[in-house]
A and B are shown apart, each in its own frame.
Chain A
Amino acid sequence: MRNDTIHLAGVYTKTVMKSWFQYSVDAVLRSLAVFIREAVGIVVIYFSMLKFDTLNGWNIHELMFLFSLLFLTYGILILFFTGMRDFWKTVRDGSFDRFILRPRGLLFQLIFSNADWFAAIGHGGLGIVLFVISAGKLGIIWNAGTVVYYILAVIGGVLIQGAMFVFVAALNIYLLQTDSLVTLFYWDLRKFAGYPISIFHRAIQFCMIYVVPFAFVNYFPSQFLLRKEDMAGYPAVYMYLTPVIGVCMYLAAYGFWRYSIRFYKSSGN
């Protein structure tokens, strides 16, 4: 850590924001479009709940709370890990070679020279809206303990997903083409994550808990605060593991990244 690191991060962030918001009308429209695209899933659940009342014991506000964690963590995640999500592009167009020549950490440059602000505002905004609507109606007692738990759970959730992105970026060094892998393991499994995982097939629950642990991003933290009946199917300790898993996964992914980067070969131009 050099003493101008924070200053440099600030300069990067300012430049990135400027480039994203170059066309201001377009930027507002894009953020709105992301918001609407993601809100579609919520509207569908809202309508279904008007008809069916509960989904395996979860009512509409509890489902919204479950969803809010998913969106909120993604909104924060994408401010820091866009460079990892889109790492394959950086490799392919050769700009990663330029990063290597600069006297700063590669991860530092990748993180701070990229931030998908439209996704951050769209996803994060939706997460906040859902949290505000639902949090007061759930009977959660917000005291120092639950607030600290909530903050740790959000950080853990961001780290879990960040670790996935770092891991895939490191894999990209060997495989060169990983966008389909990301679709399969990240986006496709994420489609299940908005719902209580207890409603799904055993195999999918297994994937969500032990393979790509989305369950620890929103399901188990929500269970800690809501204590729904379907938690009986899982070990109670899982409700406390999110921050631990987040840190462990991130360290493991970071180690794998540091190890793999030595094998980086330019894709050539």
Chain B
Amino acid sequence: MKKFAPYLAFAKKSFLGRSAYRFDHFMGIFDTILRIFIFWEIYRALYGGRSEVDGITLTMVTTNFILSMGLDAVFFVDDYYLPSRIQSGSIATELLLPVSIHGRMLANNMGNALFQLIFHFVPTVAVSVLVIGIAAPAEPLALLLFLLSALLGYGVLWTISFVAQMFSFWLINIWSIVTIKNSLIKVLSGSMIPIWFMPDWMQEVIHFTPFSSIYFMPVQIYLGQLSLSDILSSFLIQLFWIAVLFSFGMLLWKKGQKKLVVQGG
């Protein structure tokens, strides 16, 4: 336990640091609610009074948006954690510290994520449920499995960012890579269009990418769309992607470290 103490301290620090910017935080909540609201209005118009399309009800669609955009706010990743340290050169001294820089990064992100869960997810979902309404979880167990799946989904999102950040060893500026990565996640994870409504060929492609395991798997579990064996295999898929992406990131990290040149001093 003693080994984790410094990381807990880092997580706590980033949690507390968040409460300093109140107005920005309220704007963030407003932004998420607005996005949910826009998609609700669009899909109401698209459904045009129909109760279901391809077996998907409008309530399922709005539940998908509320949960995936809510989780999107919780799943905090700082894409510039390593890049900013590599650019400023402070990584040189941080590598000498007796704590792992990756552990610090994760602790920092998770402290933020916990803050977002309590002060962003809860109010956003509460307002959305009051104004729009949400489907109840298929059964109590589904809610529990949803939470577990969401945690693994965060792991997948985090390791994708982990890999992207490693490119800062080779590029001066990774803003473009991060922006393209986040755009891909937006479309392919189902947070802007439910994966049910994508063309079949696109769904096939998405199956071979890590993106659907971020938000869509938890949402499907919440709605009771997966059988127990499907749920188990979805967990395995998530773990598979976390392992693959993390190993790839570490490989790049080892290569990058050898190449690291800190400018100035």
A and B from one complex: yes
Chain A residues packing against B (C-beta within 8 Å): 23, 26, 29-30, 32-34, 36-37, 39-41, 43-44, 47-48, 50-52, 55-56, 180, 183-184, 188, 191-192, 195, 199-201
Bound-complex Cα distance A201 to B183 (A): 28
Which of chain A's residues has its CB closest to B191's CB? Answer: A44
Q: Which of A30, A52, A183, A199 contacts B41 (CB 8 A)?
A: A199
In this assembly, does B262 line the interface, its C-beta being within 8 Å of a C-beta of chain A? no
Q: What are 7 sample pairs from A and B whose C-beta atoms fall under 8 A apart? A: A30-B173, A30-B175, A30-B176, A34-B179, A47-B193, A47-B199, A199-B42
B41 engages A26 (CB within 8 Å): no
The interface on chain B, measured as residues whose beta carbon lies within 8 A of the other chain's beta carbons, has a size of: 34
A48 engages B173 (CB within 8 Å): no
Q: Interface majority SS on A: helix, strand, loop or mixed?
A: helix
Chain B residues packing against A (C-beta within 8 Å): 23-24, 27, 30-31, 34-35, 38, 41-42, 44-46, 48, 53-54, 171-173, 175-177, 179-180, 182-183, 186-187, 192-193, 197-199, 202
Bound-complex Cα distance A252 to B15 (A): 45
Q: Which residues of B contact A200 (CB under 8 A)?
A: 41
Closest chain-A Cβ to B147's Cβ sits at a distance in Å of: 28
Closest chain-B Cβ to A36's Cβ sits at a distance in Å of: 5
Closest chain-B Cβ to A207's Cβ sits at a distance in Å of: 12
**Count of CB-CB pairs between chains A and B under 8 Å:** 80
Q: Which residues of A contact B175 (CB under 8 A)?
A: 30, 33
Which of chain B's residues has its CB closest to A48's CB? Answer: B193
Known: A43-B187, A52-B53. A33 touches B176 (CB 8 A): yes
Q: Which residues of B contact A52 (CB under 8 A)?
A: 46, 53, 197
A55 engages B202 (CB within 8 Å): no
Q: Which residues of A contact B31 (CB under 8 A)?
A: 183, 188
B45 engages A191 (CB within 8 Å): no
Closest chain-A Cβ to B232's Cβ sits at a distance in Å of: 30
Which of chain B's residues has its CB closest to A32's CB? Answer: B176
